[in-house]
Chain A
Amino acid sequence: MNAGEAAVALDRVAVTLGERPVLREVSFRLEAEQFCALIGTNGSGKTTLLRAILGFIPVQAGRIDLPAGAIGYVPQKITLDPGLPLRARDVIALGLDGARFGTRLPSKARAVRVQEMLRAVGAEEFAEQRVGTLSGGQQQRVLLAHALVRRPKLLLLDEPLANLDVGSTAEIVALLRRLSHEFGAAVLLSAHDMNPLLPVVDRIVYLANGCAVSGKADEVVRTEVLSRLYGYHVDVLRVHGRVVVIAAGARTESRDALERDPVHTITVP
């Protein structure tokens, strides 16, 4: 793929689950090797959007352009069964050719690639343990290596920072940033709190109300831009170096969602 070509481009995408329209008109474009955060409150449709990009759910309208070849994917809150006889190393190897029928004899080249991935994500220490017995952060690293081992041009991560403590959050964010450069992959990761990501992201896609705005963080996270997106007045404040979005306008469904999300926002009486 040439530089400057889109890693993923969405044009007026609409997705309906059952009878509920989750995404009404989502358009954005992600260039190769860009590091992008998909921000939105709980229930704003982040997971739906990622699953639509992956082709898991059909799109009612609009189009999604994807790069040729593999797409890396790390699902949300995956719980790996400790009863499975799969070491971290085996899970990464399955990222190489897990979808192929038939078996294959072990090969040196493959073992080398797996070892490289283990080193890249810092998983060498627990490479020989069953994945199901690893901690959440360790499993995340293994799944990240599983997603990257085929060197995809696009990596999708669904809430990779949820349920991590502050230290591990910073570690994973730094790791993702570094891997994005190292592997030349565009990264789209969803999160409900943008603060740990603001220092490192190239772009933000902000999802609300079934629509999205995208651009550089300072372009998007602004009072007038987000107010237009939400359809009522919101304030973007910077408090102690953190960005908070405050709902102060008319009470609507999406405002309730904004208020329910304590990490994302504080409410003003």
Chain B
Amino acid sequence: MFSAFMLHAWIVATLVAVAAGCVGFFVVARRAAFAAHALPLGAFPGAAAASLMGVNEFWGLAGFAVLGVLAIGQLQRAGRREVASALWLASALALGVLLLGLSGRYAQSVYGLLFGDLLGIDTRQMAVVAGFSGLTVALVAWVARPLLLDSLSSELASAAGARAAALEFVFLGILALSTAIAVPVVGALLVFSLMVGPASAARAFTDRPWRSLAVAVGICLATVWSAIALAYVTNWPVGFFVGALSALCYAAGRLRGGTVALAQVA
């Protein structure tokens, strides 16, 4: 389980989990679960485009993630937030279907991109993931306070001098960045469940925001590590365990939150 080729998987998964925990805290605070789902899944056709053009798939993913940020940000102005995410997701995937259809040779790796493949990670990829995880965490630390205030009330944030529209773009950008790096590892379909489940469970354990963020990162790490171990033992896809464990985290948080709320009433 800890042999050389698995070592990369452990390191990369740890990096991804730290970034996902930090970003997940804000995904929960800002009710952005749909965007957190739509951005990585919408970035997945980027990998198809990259393989068509013969460049590193990471650049394709990042490119489509950025496109997604711009499209969602633009569509949000016209109407409802969730409609913006849905339309971007559908357009990106439709484009992905087109690219898949035109290239033809790409179909085999679709499964890996959608559901994750821990074994295909080389040292160079690991360096890229490490760099971008660090960047994500740094960006989160940089905008954390105005972003938290804006999540509470965008009017409060505006009154304090923050620009709500700019903050939303920065947030979506961070989301895109952190999800794009995670796509090859956990898969485009399941990155977001790593963000939603642990961070929503963390709320039940503490009322302090930054402690909640730390707890979210902790649960994230526990989730990924268990998922890898279970996947290694059973040989089942790691995405399945990430999804199931995240749901368990959420359920545990709900149960605990329920008892806490009852205790407060009594």
Contact = CB atoms under 8 A, between A and B. Distances in A.
Q: Tell me whether chain B's interface is mostly helix, strand or loop, or mixed.
A: loop
A83 B266 contact: no
Interface in B55-113: 79-80
B265 interface: yes
A83 B265 CA distance: 37
A83 B83 CA distance: 12
B262 to A, nearest CB: 9
A18 B79 contact: no
B197 to A, nearest CB: 29
Contacts of A18: 265
Contacts of A218: none
Interface residues of B, number: 4
Interface string A17-47: 0110000000000000000000000000000
Contacts of A19: 265-266
Interface string A215-246: 00000000000000000000000000000000
A145 B79 CA distance: 29
Contacts of B80: 83
A19 B265 CA distance: 6
Contacts of B79: 83
Q: Tell me whether chain A's interface is mostly helix, strand or loop, or mixed.
A: loop
Interface string A70-99: 000000000000010000000000000000
Contacts of A83: 79-80
Nearest to B264: A18
Nearest to B261: A18
Nearest to A81: B80
B261 to A, nearest CB: 9
A83 B78 CA distance: 11
A83 B266 CA distance: 40
Nearest to B262: A18
Nearest to A19: B265
Nearest to B83: A83
Contacts of B266: 19
B62 to A, nearest CB: 33
B72 to A, nearest CB: 18
A83 B79 CA distance: 8
5 contacts: A18-B265, A19-B265, A19-B266, A83-B79, A83-B80
Interface of A: 18-19, 83
In the A-B complex, list the 5 residue pairs whose CB atoms are closest, starting with the nearest.
A18-B265, A19-B265, A19-B266, A83-B80, A83-B79
